[in-house]
């Protein structure tokens, strides 16, 4: 089938198309139905089907005689460790740890928070939850205790799984004090905490509530996979929205397995014999889908890398990884390649390694800017594919379908809609579809399998946030355009979400933190262009009347607050005192206008503005402070 045939089949006859894909998996009870309406007015996939995701990812392959094949390669330059796990070994570890969780009382439907560095135990913990039908929620290690506490209160986990430390470059970061602080901040108190001791730092355990991973496993019996409904949740993954409260994206078991299995072949062109490396973190959706579940459900080999693109030890790190593990397909963020290019513009390190195993380089997390695209294409010498997706969709909405029919690449575009995603560019309340012009990007319902089914414990937020803007469509929150060949160009967010080093962050959440400072009356946080990280947050703060401060000391104070409340991952390093913020007559800060000034775009001053002179005033200040993007040659 060509891409076009497959795309038409998937969007015109979705039930038939996805039921056929579903047949490729080892269900306990195969589904008879595809997409069906639900009582809450939405829809679900494969209701009636029963399966277990860890069974699909592990037991199924062992049963089929592939137990001695390598499932997981762990490579950690920061600890000088490499470890290989066959499918049989990984299955044993997962079954044992699932037994441990079960001993602590975890059963189907219970939540387990996983706050772990990039070590095999993180993957084992995720699959162990899946084995029991428990719902995991992995929290990225770069988030502060407060963020963890917010997630504890929302997910209400029975158990938290953690490690004694993370290792970032040459820093050893203790995790246990952070977890303890989060638990003390949270209203909900988990029953137990399981901790994996790393030799780099031994944490002290509280006898009443804490369990050492290895001792727990020793005292437990391995657990068998529990049959769950296709529609039962596999995980909740929190992502930034426009408010301070993160959104718990809920992923089901059945649709997720079918979609990921399909994508491994159709998009990434991966077969069972391939080695796939997603250079992300298990705390992000890319890590969930393409470090853990996708490659393992496919029966391929996945790579878990505890290191950085540069500095561990140098800008040749990615090339060394490709050579050492014979990586066939690499998935990375453009920011990682910008970092490599900055450190080694002529890619001198590349010539020291044999990277001939590499077939394709996929990029996502942010738009692949053309200069990085051209540099990577020229230096690496393989097709470089930009593809667009979100935590919510769990797999790519647009991509060059390399496994179906490789297409010509257009720099700046994430290519064409993936089979299953009926992508439209809409403008205005009349939902007019437009070609060639910029508008809001929406996906016609139903979404294909694998996408979010709701927001954890808040279906109304799901409806209001995604389904209200355009009747019958899912609003992606991104804008862009489709050209005459059907290629999609994603140009940025329509909301206050920013993208820092491929990480999605909420400016609204940072504003809440800044507004908590006693000297601050009002503030706005905007993303400004950064050559390495894509965007960086900057706070524009207005002091309370009569308050005088040392601006530098205030900035340091605010930087520390964001670090403490959100975490170092926010990369919040600048705050500027302003005399006025442009507002509407009703007192709303004109954030979009600030974003337009920062992006050096033509500014649309709304008629509702309170004082038009505030615009030129803030623009002058932002230029003086270097906050306005300078046009760069492409
Ligand atoms: N645990 C604890 N802290 C973490 C962390 C983790 N898992 N990940 C990041 N941090 C901290 C870092 O130590 C740093 O702290 P600092 O301010 O004390 O130095 C801060 O968060 C910012 O980290 P990072 O964004 O990694 O910036 P960097 O300057 O250290 O590295 C890059 C720059 C470009 C090399 C790095 O951002 C990178 O590798 N980006 C790729 C990200 C990626 O793969 N995203 C894909 C998502 S699909
Ligand atoms: P996340 O949910 O963290 O994966 O972030 C999703 C958001 O990142 C999207 O809504 C986009 O704004 C942005 N994004 C991810 N991949 C791309 C891409 N290939 N091109 C443009 N934007 C992207």
Work out how many domains the chain is built from and give that number.
Answer: 2
To which residue do tokens 């605010």 refer? 558
**Is the C-beta atom of 178 inside 6 A of ligand 1?**
no
Residue nearest to atom 3 of ligand 1 (CA): 142
Tell whether the model's pLDDT for residue 520 goes beyond 50.
yes
pLDDT in tens, 183-221: 999 999 999 999 999 999 999 999 999 999 999 999 999
Average pLDDT of 311-321?
A: 97
**Closest ligand 2 atom, CA of 497?**
12
**Closest ligand 2 atom, CA of 504?**
3
Distance 142 CA to ligand 1 centre (A): 8
Q: How far apart are CA 531 and CA 574, in angstroms?
A: 16
Distance 282 CA to ligand 1 centre (A): 13
Residue 425 backbone dihedrals phi, psi, to 5 degrees: -105, 120
> Which of 150, 149, 85, 70 minimizes the C-alpha distance to 122?
85
Average pLDDT of 493-500?
A: 89
Tell whether the model's pLDDT for residue 632 goes beyond 70.
no
Specify if 577 maps to a domain. Answer: yes
Specify if 300 maps to a domain. Answer: yes
Nearest ligand, CA of residue 333? 1
Same domain, 46 and 179: yes
| pLDDT value, residue 77 | 98
To which residue do tokens 């890398």 refer? 305
Is residue 484 within 8 Å of 436, Cβ to Cβ? yes
| pLDDT value, residue 495 | 85
Is residue 462 within 8 Å of 251, Cβ to Cβ? no
Q: How far apart are CA 356 and CA 291, in angstroms?
A: 22
**Is the C-beta atom of 154 inside 6 A of ligand 2?**
no
**Is the C-beta atom of 165 inside 6 A of ligand 1?**
no
pLDDT in tens, 443-494: 999 999 999 999 999 999 999 999 999 999 999 999 999 999 999 999 988 8
Ligand 2 test: best mutation among 246, 284, 335, 364, most atoms within 8 Å of CB?
Answer: 364
Same domain, 578 and 439: no
pLDDT in tens, 573-625: 999 999 999 999 988 899 889 988 998 888 888 888 888 899 999 999 999 99
Is residue 237 within 8 Å of 256, Cβ to Cβ? no
Nearest ligand, CA of residue 392? 2
Question: In 201-315, where does DSSP find H-type helix?
Answer: 213-218, 254-266, 285-287, 294-298
Same domain, 456 and 568: no
- 432 pLDDT tier (thresholds 50, 70, 90): low
**Closest ligand 1 atom, CA of 365?**
48
| pLDDT value, residue 634 | 35
Same domain, 580 and 472: no
Q: How far apart are CA 369 and CA 208, in angstroms?
A: 52
Tell whether the model's pLDDT for residue 367 goes beyond 70.
yes
Q: Which residues contact 478 (CB under 8 A, 6 or more apart)?
A: 388, 390, 440, 441, 490, 491, 492, 493, 494
> Which of 445, 428, 429, 446 minimizes the C-alpha distance to 437?
428
Average pLDDT of 379-405?
A: 98
Q: How far apart are CA 95 and CA 104, in angstroms?
A: 14
531 secondary structure, DSSP code: T
| pLDDT value, residue 312 | 96
Same domain, 460 and 512: no
Ligand 1 test: best mutation among 317, 335, 367, 395, most atoms within 8 Å of CB?
Answer: 335
Same domain, 547 and 409: no
Is residue 462 within 8 Å of 455, Cβ to Cβ? yes
Average of per-residue pLDDT values in the chain: 95
Same domain, 620 and 577: yes
Same domain, 248 and 290: yes
Residue nearest to atom 15 of ligand 2 (CA): 365
Q: Which domain CATH number covers 200?
A: 3.40.50.12780
Nearest ligand, CA of residue 368? 2
For residue 175, give both structure tokens.
Answer: 């995790």
Residue 135 backbone dihedrals phi, psi, to 5 degrees: -105, 115
Task: Give this prediction's pTM.
Answer: 0.96
- 240 pLDDT tier (thresholds 50, 70, 90): confident
Is residue 67 within 8 Å of 61, Cβ to Cβ? yes
Average pLDDT of 216-243?
A: 95
Give the lowest-confidence range in 239-248, 265-274, 373-382.
Answer: 239-248
**Is the C-beta atom of 366 inside 6 A of ligand 2?**
yes
Tell whether the model's pLDDT for residue 631 goes beyond 70.
no
**Is the C-beta atom of 502 inside 6 A of ligand 1?**
yes
Decide: helix, strand or coil at residue 165.
strand
Specify if 604 maps to a domain. Answer: yes
Specify if 208 maps to a domain. Answer: yes
Same domain, 461 and 596: no
Same domain, 397 and 258: yes
Specify if 333 maps to a domain. Answer: no
Tell whether the model's pLDDT for residue 284 goes beyond 50.
yes
Domain housing 216 = 3-307+387-480
Q: Which domain CATH number covers 533?
A: 3.30.300.30
Tell whether the model's pLDDT for residue 68 goes beyond 60.
yes
Give the lowest-confidence range in 43-47, 195-199, 306-310, 435-439.
Answer: 435-439
Task: Tell me the helix, strand and coil percentages in the chain, rounded to 5.
Answer: 35, 25, 40
Distance 187 CA to ligand 1 centre (A): 29
Q: What percent of the chain has pLDDT over 70?
A: 98
Using a 10 angstrom Cβ sphere, with 0-12 exposed, 13-18 middle and 19 or more buried, the burial of residue 274 is buried
Average pLDDT of 396-401?
A: 98
To which residue do tokens 């540069």 refer? 310
Is residue 345 within 8 Å of 478, Cβ to Cβ? no
> Which of 259, 234, 254, 227 minimizes the C-alpha distance to 46?
254
> Which of 504, 523, 503, 526 minimizes the C-alpha distance to 596?
526
Tell whether the model's pLDDT for residue 633 goes beyond 50.
no
Buried b / exposed e along 32-51 (16+ C-beta atoms within 10 A):
eebbeeeeeebebbbbebbb
Nearest ligand, CA of residue 145? 1
| pLDDT value, residue 569 | 94
Residue nearest to atom 19 of ligand 2 (CA): 388
Q: Which residues contact 593 (CB under 8 A, 6 or more apart)?
A: 582, 603, 604, 605, 606, 615
Tell whether the model's pLDDT for residue 272 goes beyond 60.
yes
**Is the C-beta atom of 142 inside 6 A of ligand 1?**
yes
For residue 369, give both structure tokens.
Answer: 């800017």
**Is the C-beta atom of 369 inside 6 A of ligand 2?**
no
| pLDDT value, residue 430 | 55
Between CA 11 and CA 17, with CA 13 as vertex, the angle to 5 degrees is 90
Same domain, 92 and 166: yes
Is residue 166 within 8 Å of 178, Cβ to Cβ? no
Specify if 351 maps to a domain. Answer: no
End-to-end CA distance of the chain: give it in Å, rounded.
36
To which residue do tokens 């490690």 refer? 163
Specify if 316 maps to a domain. Answer: no
Specify if 329 maps to a domain. Answer: no
Same domain, 599 and 463: no
Q: How far apart are CA 97 and CA 246, in angstroms?
A: 29
Distance 505 CA to ligand 2 centre (A): 11
């Amino acid at each position: 089938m060509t891409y076009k045939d497959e795309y038409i089949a998937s969007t015109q006859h979705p039930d038939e198309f996805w039921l056929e894909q579903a047949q490729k998996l080892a269900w306990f009870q195969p589904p008879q139905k595809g997409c069906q309406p639900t009582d809450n007015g939405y829809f679900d996939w494969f209701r009636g089907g029963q399966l277990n995701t860890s069974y699909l990812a592990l037991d199924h392959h062992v049963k089929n005689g592939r137990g001695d094949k390598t499932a997981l390669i762990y490579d950690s330059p920061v600890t000088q460790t490499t470890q290989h796990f066959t499918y049989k070994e990984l299955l044993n570890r997962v079954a044992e740890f699932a037994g441990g969780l079960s001993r602590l009382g975890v059963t189907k439907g219970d939540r387990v928070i996983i706050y772990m560095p990039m070590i095999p135990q993180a993957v084992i913990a995720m699959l162990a939850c899946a084995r029991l039908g428990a719902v995991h929620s992995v929290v990225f290690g770069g988030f502060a205790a407060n963020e963890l506490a917010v997630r504890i209160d929302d997910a209400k986990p029975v158990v938290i799984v953690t490690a004694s430390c993370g290792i970032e470059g040459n820093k050893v970061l203790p995790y246990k004090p952070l977890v303890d602080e989060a638990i003390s901040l949270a209203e909900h108190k988990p029953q137990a905490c399981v901790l994996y001791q790393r030799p780099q730092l031994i944490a002290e355990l509280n006898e009443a509530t804490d369990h050492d991973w290895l001792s727990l496993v020793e005292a437990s019996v391995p657990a068998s996979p529990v049959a769950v409904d296709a529609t039962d949740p596999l995980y909740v993954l929190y992502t930034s929205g426009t408010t301070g409260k993160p959104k718990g994206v809920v992923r089901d078991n059945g649709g997720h397995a079918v979609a990921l299995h399909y994508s491994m072949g159709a998009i990434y062109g991966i077969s069972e014999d391939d080695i796939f490396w997603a250079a992300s973190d298990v705390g992000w959706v890319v890590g969930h889908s393409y470090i853990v579940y996708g490659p393992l459900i496919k029966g391929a080999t996945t790579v878990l890398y505890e290191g950085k693109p540069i500095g561990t030890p140098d800008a040749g790190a990615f090339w060394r990884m490709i050579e050492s593990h014979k990586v066939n397909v690499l998935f990375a963020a453009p920011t990682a390649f910008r970092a490599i290019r900055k450190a080694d513009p002529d890619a001198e390190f590349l010539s020291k390694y044999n990277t001939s195993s590499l077939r394709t380089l996929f990029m996502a997390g942010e738009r692949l800017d053309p200069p990085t695209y051209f540099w990577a294409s020229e230096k690496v010498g393989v097709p470089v594919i930009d593809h667009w997706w979100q935590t919510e969709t769990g797999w790519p909405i647009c991509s060059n379908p390399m496994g179906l029919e490789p297409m010509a690449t257009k720099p700046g575009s994430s290519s064409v809609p993936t089979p299953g995603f009926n992508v439209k560019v809409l403008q205005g309340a009349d939902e007019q579809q437009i070609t060639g012009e910029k508008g809001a990007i929406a996906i016609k319902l139903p979404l294909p399998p694998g996408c979010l089914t709701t927001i954890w414990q808040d279906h109304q937020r799901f409806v209001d946030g995604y389904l209200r803007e355009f009747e019958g469509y899912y609003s992606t929150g991104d804008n862009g355009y489709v050209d005459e060949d059907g290629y999609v160009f994603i140009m940025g967010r329509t909301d206050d979400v920013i993208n820092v080093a491929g990480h999605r962050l909420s400016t609204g959440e940072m504003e809440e933190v800044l507004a908590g400072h006693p000297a601050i009356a009002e503030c706005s946080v905007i993303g400004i262009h950064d050559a390495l990280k894509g965007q960086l947050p900057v706070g524009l703060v207005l002091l309370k009347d009569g308050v005088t401060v040392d601006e530098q000391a205030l900035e340091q104070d605010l930087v520390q607050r964001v670090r403490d409340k959100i975490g170092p991952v926010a990369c919040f390093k600048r705050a500027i005192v302003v005399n006025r913020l442009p507002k509407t007559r009703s007192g709303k800060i004109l954030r979009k206008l600030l974003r337009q000034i920062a992006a050096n775009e033509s500014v649309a001053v709304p008629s509702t503005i309170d004082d038009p002179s505030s615009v030129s005033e803030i623009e002058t200040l932002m230029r003086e402070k270097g906050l306005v993007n300078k046009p760069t040659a492409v």
